[in-house]
A and B are shown apart, each in its own frame.
Chain A
Amino acid sequence: MKHKILLLISSMIGSAVLLSACGGSETKSGGVSPQVMADSLFSVMEADRTVYTKLIIGRLAKEEKVIKASEHWKDEKALVLPAQMFRYGAERVAEKGAPFSYSLLSLWPVNKQNKPKTEIEKKGLNFIAENPGKNFYAEEELGGTRYFTAVYPDVGVASACVSCHNKHKDSPRTDFKIGEVMGGVVIRIPL
């Protein structure tokens, strides 16, 4: 059953994201700017992420306590973490060859591969942490291609987010509060 839920949700994310990508590529006929496209993509990602955290993790793991959420979901027969759900979706989108890409990063990452790497990522994550509610937009060049890069705040929407990160042995920060910016979603669209 839980596999079906996961499958359903991941396919929802995937199809929503792909559909929005199709819409976005029609710049010729009316012009969807990279920013509008990135904003649209983010709204889908954020909605799915919140739904997963609240309806699946929050309900089944925290409230009803019928199943755990674990980084090692396969071994523990558990739910995948919200961040993994997000990353697996991003990886699937990449495998399908979509032109845009996205990732979930943080200045206080549990997984050190999720710390900012490029100058724009560093600037963007600092900006959204210091200016709650605001997004960050810039352009950067990576591997010979120019990108429109947008950074959106990833907020601890549920107590599940905060408690898990504060307690995690690899978390460099242990004082996250609900409603706070915990990281950022970085979306890149090639120009």
Chain B
Amino acid sequence: MSNKNRIYWVYWIVLTVGMTGYLIMQLTGEDKTVYLPGKTSHGHYQIEMACSACHTDPLGGGEVLQDACMGCHGEELERADDSHPKSKFTNPRNADRVAKLDARKCITCHTEHREEITLEMGVSLPNDFCFKCHEDVAENRPSHVGMEFNTCASAGCHNFHDNRGLYEDFLAKHLDEPAYLKKASVKPLSAGKAYELINSYPVAAYPIKSLTINDADTPADVRNDPKVMQDWLASSHSKAGVNCTACHMQSSAETKEKIWKEKPGYQVCESCHESQVKGFLASRHGMRLAQDLSAMTPGQARLDMKKNAHDRELSCTSCHGSHQFDKKHAAVDGCLACHDDKHSNQYKQSKHFTLWHKEVTGQAEANTGVSCATCHLPRKQSRHENGTFVSSEHNQNDNLRPNEKMLRSVCMQCHGLEFSIDSLADRKLIEKNFSSKPDVHIKSLDLVRQRKDLKKDIEGM
């Protein structure tokens, strides 16, 4: 071997070893950027470094991915009465349709890491896909003659998955409702009932009674900060007997012995507020924690965030404060401390805010104001061990994209259906945070109105 060749070999070996070392480091460290095949969609980019969240088996193909999708999104689809579940496509009579568009698999439309074909909702779609199964729709719906197939899902009338607020009989039932309903309020939260709902609630250690400053059970070596005491005394925790140690004394992972923890994590909140923490972990706020990644910070967000908030780490206490746990603060100021986009910044000029202001200043009844949380963390009925209760959905993304998901749980609590559909379709109005009436009109209710000969399929049975 000539000297020159030998040098090339040395170069090659050094380069290969170096490269391998680098790739291994990337694979084992938190930053796995080199392995990303393309820009991740806004729904998943936060957890893109937890490759195994989706790629559960490095050798797995589409089926493995499908399981991963359903693992996180399956429950939501079921709740949404998914109009096109996989089970509608597995029958062999649909083999020709599946050959054209394999609707059995999420990734047929929801391609990840392909920014160039990813549309606004995080999905890549052939824009006339409805045609493949519903090409004859105009035969039975004369009103649909001449409508283009790329408008089914983009004109505010239909969605592929969630049509709970859009199906024909629902529109018929809510035809001609006024824009503003007489009774405009949301369900009251069933607050402070955790102890009744959870069998394992430690009533013996923390009896249900209002506590005073003298009851505070902080260990002698922990300094009693007057501000902390004041916040705790004002909170519903102190009023329900939730003493300092209830949250701060936690079993150590190694010795299992109870030790004082300065900053307890979401796991502590979860022991009483399970459904809220579940929502949080599924949300843009908590999805990184759910994957054992470091907490989300506004600095990592793709939405506009306030500069001074960039390094804040998101946990339950970022919105709720660590001792006051004031829901009213969390419902507006908690959000506006970080969010800095047009919609958020317009909120305080909106009628919704006026109503909220009236509520919190005691000029209007409870549950008649509209805070950020009223729409983005809407009230929902949940089940606990011992019954149902009303809590707020802590996954703020649950009713967005497509935003018609808000119709039933939010808008229609106070507005008529038609007004609600039109408002949600008006992009400019959303930017202005609903500070005027909608300029957009969706025709679906007009079509239902025209179909006057609606025969009730249920009545008269």
Contact = CB atoms under 8 A, between A and B. Distances in A.
Contacts, number: 79
Contacts of A150: none
Nearest to B459: A68
Given A61-B461, A70-B458, A164-B457, A117 B88 contact: no
A169 B93 contact: no
Interface string A59-70: 001100000111
A2 interface: no
A168 B457 contact: yes
Contacts of B446: none
A121 B81 CA distance: 28
A121 B140 CA distance: 21
Given A147-B92, A164-B461, A168-B455, 4 more contacts: A69-B458, A94-B91, A101-B91, A118-B93
28 contacts: A61-B461, A70-B458, A71-B169, A72-B169, A72-B170, A74-B81, A75-B170, A78-B458, A91-B85, A94-B87, A101-B90, A112-B136, A112-B137, A117-B93, A121-B93, A142-B92, A142-B93, A143-B92, A143-B96, A143-B98, A145-B95, A147-B92, A163-B461, A164-B457, A167-B455, A169-B451, A186-B93, A190-B92
A70 B170 CA distance: 12
B117 to A, nearest CB: 27
Interface string A164-191: 1001111010000000000000101010
B1 interface: no
Contact of B457 (A112, A121, A144, A169): A169
Nearest to A117: B93
B398 to A, nearest CB: 18
A113 to B, nearest CB: 7
Interface string A142-169: 1111010000000000001001100111
Interface residues of B, number: 30
Given A61-B461, A101-B91, A170 B96 contact: no
B95 A167 contact: no
Interface string A112-134: 11000110010000000000000
Nearest to B164: A75
A69 B461 contact: yes
B458 A95 contact: no
Interface in A83-119: 90-92, 94-95, 101, 103, 112-113, 117-118
Given A71-B457, A94-B87, A160-B461, A145 B92 contact: yes
Nearest to B91: A101
Contacts of A142: 92-93, 95-96
B167 interface: yes
Contacts of B90: 94-95, 101
Contacts of A163: 460-461
B170 A167 contact: no
B88 A91 contact: yes
A16 to B, nearest CB: 19
Contacts of A70: 457-458
Interface majority SS (helix, strand, loop, mixed), chain A: mixed
A75 B453 CA distance: 22
A122 to B, nearest CB: 12
A91 B94 CA distance: 13
A76 interface: yes
B59 to A, nearest CB: 22
A89 B369 CA distance: 45
A46 B444 CA distance: 39
Nearest to A76: B458
A167 B95 CA distance: 33
A68 B461 CA distance: 8
Sort A-B residue pairs by CB-CB distance and give the 7 closest, nearest first. Answer: A143-B95, A91-B87, A169-B455, A142-B92, A142-B95, A168-B457, A94-B90
Contact of A112 (B93, B140, B451): B140
Interface in A33-53: none
Contacts of A69: 458, 461
Interface string B75-102: 0000001000111101111011011000
Contacts of A92: 87
A186 B98 CA distance: 19
A188 B92 contact: yes
A103 B85 CA distance: 16
Contacts of A90: 91
A175 to B, nearest CB: 15
Contacts of B98: 143
Contact of B133 (A113, A147, A160): A113
Nearest to A91: B87
Nearest to A174: B455
Nearest to B94: A117
Contacts of A118: 93
Contacts of B85: 91
A103 B169 CA distance: 24
Interface in B417-461: 451, 453-458, 460-461
A167 B98 CA distance: 34
**Most A-side CB within 10 Å, residue of B86, B88, B90, B457:** B457
Contact of B91 (A72, A103, A164, A172): A103
B78 to A, nearest CB: 11
A63 to B, nearest CB: 11
Nearest to A101: B91
Contacts of A147: 92
Nearest to B133: A113
Contacts of B86: 95
B70 to A, nearest CB: 11
Contact of A143 (B99, B133, B167, B456): B99
